[in-house]
């Protein structure tokens, strides 16, 4: 055991314990720094590591204790102006959800004064694309990011609980109070004057979703991982529904199976978000390219009709997903018509493209569009048209945005998505070589002979290795001849539905002078979609149809985490939630 004044460091076989006081911290640091080079004992190396961590935690704790959580300068400003306007109120109420900073009892109004840093606004006002970017280079970045996200989640829960209990809730940013305190006071006074009708748009804080074209439920799975809950789901396909209900509880009747064109507004509950992964058959480069007028992809217009029928209950946020061929369908006319249709429903739109290969070992580019109700957006200066090219908005999409000023865009800065280290070999099931899943020698040889000389030479190199390697094969028609094309970069090709037999992706295993061939299993398809634990006890073709039409789970989780959740945090601020629908949907004009 070593003793540094009021600090004690002990080493035992079972671990290391450290006890320090604030007075000893600087002494410990300097002493350890002088002797760190000479430390040879594994125990003492562990001591220094744990000491650094404890000092870091101690430093954070010291900072936290110095931060005032109530009676802050912005809060005192609001109190002073309320008194000046003759509004009677009470201070912090610790008995209510979220502990509102200011409350009015008649009517029931709860006011929160939220710090920009603590509640997730400062990163955006500083021009960053994410909370993480605000802490680049910080040793304690994980601590702060997790804490801020927990605060954001608690803000939504407290707001939801208060509204359900009959309160009208106002959440004010401290920076807005500094900038325009009179406007903030008018918002509070507005809340006091509103009729008591429940505001359906308060659901935005509850993060509820209606899932159209739900398929097997991977959109739901991704959203739930980011704190959203599905209140309604719809799809026409019975076999996909069979997989859906094997993975999610449908006993409450939230899943309505049937044609989207036949849905009524009464069947769809009031929610914050509506998602639509509508059929891609007529938009895909591999499809008929009949566009939004095609038999399948025209289901988009059924979704638009549902939004129209909902009227004032229309979700404030919509999320569309489809193939990137949507952008070029009919020379871009289909995409333009779809965006203008959302504009007519009072949504601004923001498109971006994500590739599943950034999250899982599967190449799967998809086009996403987020629409946000203009009723929830603060009026501001018109955005200057600019070129938005980035990793999530490649040149073709950036060009389209720039060339279509007639569309009401609302482009949001997004962070750079991650790069996964998971490869195809990491998700492959270890099936014994005598499994019936492997093809016969003659069938496997036939596939090998379908390869071009280039692809065959790659296959031969894999077979010559002393370790097993994996690749995937698609059959494609080249110059009127069926060819087997081998991919060996550790990434699977895009999972497709097995229509006509060409969509089945083949696994090629080679090494030690041998090779084996089989179709990807349902479990491997689930892993390629980021749904590792999904129930897949169904015939292979049924599973392939389900996964081929689905979304990649971690991609949706990323969209929710870096786009939808911060957006909700913005939408619940500086407006009345819980008053009348006609008045509370927008904040008071300056």
pTM for the model stands at 0.85
pLDDT at 500 over 60: no
pLDDT 10s digits, 16-36: 445 555 554 554 444 444 444
- Paired with 171 in beta bridges are 112, 573
Helix, strand or coil, per DSSP, at residue 88: coil
Q: Hey, what are 521's tokens?
A: 């299993």
* pLDDT score, position 1: 41
**pLDDT tier, 588 (very low <50, low <70, confident <90, very high otherwise):** very low
Q: Lowest-confidence range among 303-307, 330-334, 567-571?
A: 330-334
Q: Hey, what are 23's tokens?
A: 């007075």
Q: Which residue has the higher pLDDT, 455 or 296?
A: 455
pLDDT 10s digits, 536-549: 999 999 999 999 99
* pLDDT score, position 387: 72
* pLDDT score, position 388: 85
* pLDDT score, position 46: 55
Q: Which residue has the higher pLDDT, 495 or 42?
A: 495
Average pLDDT over residues 140-158: 95
Q: Hey, what are 429's tokens?
A: 């099931």
The CA-based angle 160-163-165, given to 5 degrees, is: 110
Task: Please say whether the beta carbons of 556 and 223 come within 8 A.
Answer: yes
* pLDDT score, position 58: 55
Three-state SS annotation for 380-437? CCCCCCCCCCCCCCCHHHHHHHHHCCCCCECCCCCCCCCCCCCCHHHHCCCCCCCCCC
pLDDT at 444 over 90: yes
pLDDT at 14 over 50: no
**pLDDT tier, 12 (very low <50, low <70, confident <90, very high otherwise):** very low
How many CB atoms neighbour CB 582 within 10 A? Answer: 12
Q: Give the integer Cα–Cα distance in Å for 562 and 210.
A: 20
List the one residue out of 112, 176, 122, 118 whose CA is nearest residue 149: 118
pLDDT at 252 over 50: yes
Residue extents of the structural domains in the chain? 2-66, 73-193, 203-421+548-571, 430-520
The CATH number given to 73-193 is 3.40.960.10
Task: Please give the DSSP secondary-structure letter assigned to residue 265.
Answer: G
Q: Lowest-confidence range among 104-113, 253-262, 397-406?
A: 104-113
* pLDDT score, position 299: 87
- How is domain 203-421+548-571 classified at the CATH fold level? Rossmann fold (3.40.50)
Average pLDDT over residues 575-583: 64
The CA-based angle 132-133-134, given to 5 degrees, is: 90
Average pLDDT over residues 93-121: 93
Average pLDDT over residues 509-526: 96
* pLDDT score, position 586: 35
pLDDT 10s digits, 349-390: 999 999 999 999 999 999 999 999 998 765 444 555 567 899
Q: Give the integer Cα–Cα distance in Å for 582 and 380.
A: 21
* pLDDT score, position 581: 42
Largest CA distance in the chain: 90
List the one residue out of 317, 350, 96, 102 whose CA is nearest residue 206: 317
pLDDT at 13 over 70: no
Q: Give the integer Cα–Cα distance in Å for 90 and 146.
A: 32
Supply φ then ψ for residue 300, to 5 degrees.
-55, -40
Q: Which residue has the higher pLDDT, 241 or 5?
A: 241
List the one residue out of 526, 475, 494 whose CA is nearest residue 323: 494
Question: What percent of the chain is predicted at pLDDT more than 70?
Answer: 79
Average pLDDT over residues 435-441: 96
Q: Give the integer Cα–Cα distance in Å for 356 and 362.
A: 6
Task: Please give the DSSP secondary-structure letter assigned to residue 362.
Answer: B
Number of residues assigned to the chain: 590
* pLDDT score, position 5: 44
**CA 33 to centroid of chain Cα atoms:** 43
Q: Give the integer Cα–Cα distance in Å for 230 and 224.
A: 8
List the one residue out of 504, 356, 518, 359 whose CA is nearest residue 437: 518
* pLDDT score, position 543: 93
Q: Hey, what are 193's tokens?
A: 């004057």
* pLDDT score, position 384: 56
* pLDDT score, position 583: 37
Average pLDDT over residues 562-586: 76
Q: Hey, what are 454's tokens?
A: 């280039």
**pLDDT tier, 281 (very low <50, low <70, confident <90, very high otherwise):** low
């Amino acid at each position: 055991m070593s003793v540094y004044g009021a600090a004690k460091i002990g080493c035992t076989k079972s671990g290391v314990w450290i006890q320090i006081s604030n007075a000893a911290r600087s002494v410990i640091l300097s002493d350890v720094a002088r002797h760190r080079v000479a430390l040879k004992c594994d125990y003492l190396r562990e001591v220094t590591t744990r000491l650094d961590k404890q000092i870091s935690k101690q430093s954070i704790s010291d900072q936290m204790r110095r931060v005032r959580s109530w009676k802050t300068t912005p809060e005192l400003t609001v109190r002073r102006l309320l008194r000046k306007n003759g509004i009677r109120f009470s201070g912090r109420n610790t008995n209510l959800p979220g502990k509102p900073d200011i409350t009015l009892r008649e009517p029931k109004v709860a006011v929160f004064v939220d710090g920009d840093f603590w509640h997730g606004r400062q990163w955006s006002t500083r021009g960053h694309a994410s909370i993480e970017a605000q802490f680049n280079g910080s040793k304690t970045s994980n601590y702060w990011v997790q804490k801020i996200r927990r605060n954001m989640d608690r803000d939504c829960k407290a707001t939801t609980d208060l509204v359900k209990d009959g309160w009208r809730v106002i959440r004010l940013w401290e920076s807005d109070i500094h900038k325009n305190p009179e406007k903030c006071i008018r918002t509070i006074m507005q809340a006091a004057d509103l009729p008591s009708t429940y505001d359906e748009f308060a659901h935005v804080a509850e993060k509820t979703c209606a899932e159209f074209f739900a398929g097997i439920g991977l959109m739901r799975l991704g959203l739930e991982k980011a704190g959203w809950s599905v209140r309604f789901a719809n799809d026409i396909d019975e076999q996909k529904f069979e997989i859906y209900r094997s993975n999610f509880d449908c006993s409450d009747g939230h899943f309505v199976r049937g044609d989207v064109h036949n849905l009524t507004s009464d069947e769809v509950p009031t929610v914050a978000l509506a998602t639509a992964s509508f059929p891609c058959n007529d938009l895909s480069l591999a499809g008929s390219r009949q566009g939004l007028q095609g038999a399948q992809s025209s289901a988009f217009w059924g979704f638009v009709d549902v939004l129209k029928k909902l009227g004032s209950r229309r979700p404030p946020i919509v999320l569309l997903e489809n193939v990137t061929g949507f952008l070029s369908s009919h020379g871009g006319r289909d995409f333009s018509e779809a965006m203008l249709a959302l504009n007519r429903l009072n949504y601004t739109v923001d498109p971006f493209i994500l590739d599943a290969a950034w999250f899982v070992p599967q190449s799967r580019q998809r086009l996403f569009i987020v629409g946000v109700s203009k009723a929830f957006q603060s009026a501001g200066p018109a955005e200057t048209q600019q070129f938005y090219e980035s990793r999530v908005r490649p040149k073709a999409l950036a060009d389209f945005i720039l060339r279509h000023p007639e569309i009401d865009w609302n482009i949001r800065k997004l962070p750079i998505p991650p790069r996964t280290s998971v490869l195809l070999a990491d998700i492959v099931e270890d099936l014994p070589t005598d499994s019936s899943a492997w093809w016969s020698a003659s069938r496997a040889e036939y596939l090998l002979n379908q390869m071009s000389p280039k692809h065959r030479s790659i296959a031969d190199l894999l077979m010559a290795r002393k370790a097993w390697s994996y690749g995937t094969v698609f059959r494609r028609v080249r110059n009127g001849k069926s060819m087997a094309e081998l991919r060996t970069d550790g990434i699977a090709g895009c999972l497709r539905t097995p229509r006509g037999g060409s969509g089945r992706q083949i696994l090629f295993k080679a090494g030690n002078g041998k090779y084996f061939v089989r179709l990807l299993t349902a479990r491997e398809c689930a892993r390629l979609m980021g749904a590792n634990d999904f129930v897949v006890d169904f015939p292979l073709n049924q599973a392939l149809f389900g996964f081929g039409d689905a979304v990649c789970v971690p991609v949706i989780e990323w969209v929710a985490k870096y786009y939808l959740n911060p957006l909700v945090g913005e939408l619940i601020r500086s407006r009345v939630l819980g008053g009348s629908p006609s008045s509370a949907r927008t904040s008071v004009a300056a």
